[in-house]
Structure 1
Amino acid sequence: MNKLKIKRDIFARALACIAALLFCANAFADKKEFVEIEWIELMPKEDLAVLLDPPEFLLNIQDGAADDNMEKLAEKSAIDEKAKRFNEVLKSEKIIPAFDGRDIRIPGFIVPLSNNEDRKVTEFFIVPYFGACLHLPPPPPNQIIFARWPEGITVESLSVPMLFEGKMYIETVANDMGTSAYGLTLDNVQPY
C-alpha cells in the first residue's frame, strides 16, 4: 500500500512539474518579439537620398521665418528642378511593404489628434522628431505613423520622446496636422 501511495505522489509531482513547464512555455510563446527599427527604414532609398540633399535655399531659412512654409517651397518648385523633386518627396506615400504586419519598436514623438474626456491623448501621429509638423520641411507621410491608444496617454510635454511597440500596418490617414502612410496597432507605450 505504501508503494502505491509513493507512486501516486511521484506521479502527481511529475504532472505538476509538467503543468508548470507548459504554463511557462506558453507564457514565453505569447510574448511578442518587437524588432527595433530606424525611421529611415520606412522610406525607399531614393526618397531618402533626395531628403538628404535639400535645395540650397532651404538651408538658409530660419525656423518661423516668412519663408518657413510649404507655399514658398511650392513657388521654388515651379522654377527649380531640385526643389520640385524635394517637394514631391515631402508628399511621398511610398512605403516599404515588408513592414506590413511586423511587430516593431520605434522611438518618436506624439502629435495629438484627439483626446478623451480626461484630456488624455487617444489618437495621434508618431513622428521622428519634436516639432515635426510645425517646421519646414515636415516629415513625408512615409515618416509619420498613425496610432490609437483607447485608454489615453497623459502627455505632459510634446517634447518628451516615447517608445512605441506594436504591429505595423499600411494605411493612409490624413487630417489638418498631416498625412501618415503607416499605422501601428499599439501593445505598449512608454517614455523613451
Structure 2
Amino acid sequence: MPWTSAALLVVVAIGVPAGLLLNRTDPSQAIASAPLATEPPTDVKTIAWTELMPPGWDPRLKAGQAGQPGGIDVAQLDDNDPVARQMLKDLRDAFDNAPVRPELDGRRVRLRGYAVPVGVGWGGTDEFLLVPTFGACIHSPPPPPNQIVYVKTPSKIEGVRAMSIVTVTGTLQVHALNSALATSGYRLVPETVRVER
C-alpha cells in the first residue's frame, strides 16, 4: 500500500519531527500553550526550539523538497522504490549532520521541553535529555542533534520521568554528547530545573 509505506517512510524510518514535515515552523508547538509560572531574570532569555537550528536549515532540502510545493509526493512512493530509499538516506544524513549554532555557546537561557531520563535510580535522576516533542527518543526516532539538549544536574531530582514537561534555566553550551538514547548537539548546565508534570 503506497499510503502506508509513505507514512512509515516519513514518520518512523526517517525520524523527521512531525512539525517539520507538516510545515510548522515551531517544533515546540505541542508544549507552547502552557505558560511559564514565572518570568525569567532579565539576563536570561527564554528560547524556542527553533532558535537552536541555524536560520534556513531544513533537512527536507536534502530529500527533494518532500512535502513542499513542486517536491516529491512521498504518498506515491513504495518502500522498495529507489527514490524512497535515497530520500531516506539523504534525510538521515541531514539529521546526523544537523548543524548547531556556535554563537549560542555560553548564553544564559531558559528552555522548556520533554524530559527523557538517561538513568533513573533511588531518589530520582540527575541526567536527562530535553527534547521538543512528546515521544521523541522513546516512541519515535530521535530528532536531529540540534533539537536535543543534554542536562546534568549536580544532585538527583525527584519527579523527572519519561516525557515530564521540564523547564531548565542555565548556561547553554555547544557540546555534542552521545548517549544510549541519542546524540545531543547542546548541553545545558542548569541553575534551576522546574518539573511541571
**How would you bin the TM-score normalised by the shorter chain?**
0.5 to 0.7
CA contact (8 A) 2:170 2:190 kept: yes
User: Pairwise mapping of residues 116-127 of structure 1 onto structure 2 (< 5 A)?
Assistant: 116-118=121-123, 120-127=124-131
**Could you say if the C-alpha distance between residues 110 and 82 of structure 1 is closer, same or farther in structure 2, counting changes exceeding 3 Å?**
same
Deviation at 1:122, TM superposition (A): 0.6
RMSD of aligned Cα (Å): 3.0
Query: Is 1:106 matched up with 2:116?
Result: no
Deviation at 1:177, TM superposition (A): 0.4
Deviation at 1:82, TM superposition (A): 3.4
CA contact (8 A) 2:115 2:160 kept: no
Query: What is the alpha-carbon distance in structure 2 between the residues aligned to residue 178 and residue 170 of structure 1?
Result: 16
Q: Deviations over 1:65-85 (max 9, x none)?
A: xxxxxxx8xx87885443333
Structure with max Cα Rg: 1
Query: What is the alpha-carbon distance in structure 2 between the residues aligned to residue 37 and residue 182 of structure 1?
Result: 13
In the other structure, the counterpart of 1:130 is: 134
Query: What is the alpha-carbon distance in structure 2 between the residues aligned to residue 113 and residue 159 of structure 1?
Result: 12
Tell me the amino acid that sits aligned with residue 131 of structure 1: G
Query: Is 1:147 matched up with 2:151?
Result: yes
CA contact (8 A) 1:90 1:137 kept: no
Across the two proteins, how many residue pairs are aligned to each other? 147
Tell me the amino acid that sits aligned with residue 83 of structure 1: L
Tell me the amino acid that sits aligned with residue 105 of structure 1: R
Deviation at 1:109, TM superposition (A): 1.1
Higher deviation after alignment, 128-137 or 143-152: 128-137
Q: 2:100 aligns with which of 95, 98, 101?
A: 95
Q: Deviations over 1:68-127 (max 9, x none)?
A: xxxx8xx87885443333212221341111110000111011111124542x11111111
Query: Is 1:38 matched up with 2:48?
Result: yes
Report the TM-score when normalising by structure 1.
0.64
Greater helix share, 1 or 2?
A: 1
Query: Is 1:182 matched up with 2:186?
Result: yes
Q: What is the SS of the residue equivalent to 1:172?
A: strand
Percent identity over the alignment is 28
**Could you say if the C-alpha distance between residues 146 and 156 of structure 1 is closer, same or farther in structure 2, counting changes exceeding 3 Å?**
closer
**Could you say if the C-alpha distance between residues 156 and 101 of structure 1 is closer, same or farther in structure 2, counting changes exceeding 3 Å?**
closer
Query: What is the alpha-carbon distance in structure 2 between the residues aligned to residue 109 and residue 77 of structure 1?
Result: 36
What stretches of structure 1 of length at least 5 have no aligned partner? 1-30, 61-71
**Could you say if the C-alpha distance between residues 174 and 105 of structure 1 is closer, same or farther in structure 2, counting changes exceeding 3 Å?**
same
